[in-house]
Amino acid sequence: MIPFAIQAEGITEIDQARWVLEVDPAGERFLVALSDSTFVWVEMGRCKLVKAATPDQPQLVLPVQAQPVGSQVVIPNRAMRRAIPRNGDS
């Protein structure tokens, strides 16, 4: 899903948008977070699209350095939870 922001009647201040966190399975409501740190479902009919993040926009990337554990390096990625030996180790 492409991230997008909306304005909704009654929940956003003028000229302020909220990023959509989830779309309900029926495709009728959006889940957004309010400024008071609460979540609310908003009916799609009450919303106006403000911005959509297109694939050509930069995205935040956080580099993570692997930490050595004994004679192995543990990759902190769920998809690669196995330990990989370092060069020179057998």
% of residues, the chain, pLDDT over 70: 66
Residue 81 reports pLDDT greater than 70: no
Residue 73 reports pLDDT greater than 60: no
Which secondary-structure segment (H or E) carries 37? Answer: none
| N- to C-terminal Cα separation, the chain | 43
Token reading at 78:
């769920």
Q: Are 3 and 19 in contact (CB under 8 A)?
A: yes
Cα–Cα distance between 30 and 12 in angstroms, integer? 13
**DSSP class of 35:** T
| Domains along the sequence of the chain with CATH | 4-52 (2.30.30)
pTM of model > 0.75: no
Which secondary-structure segment (H or E) carries 38? Answer: none
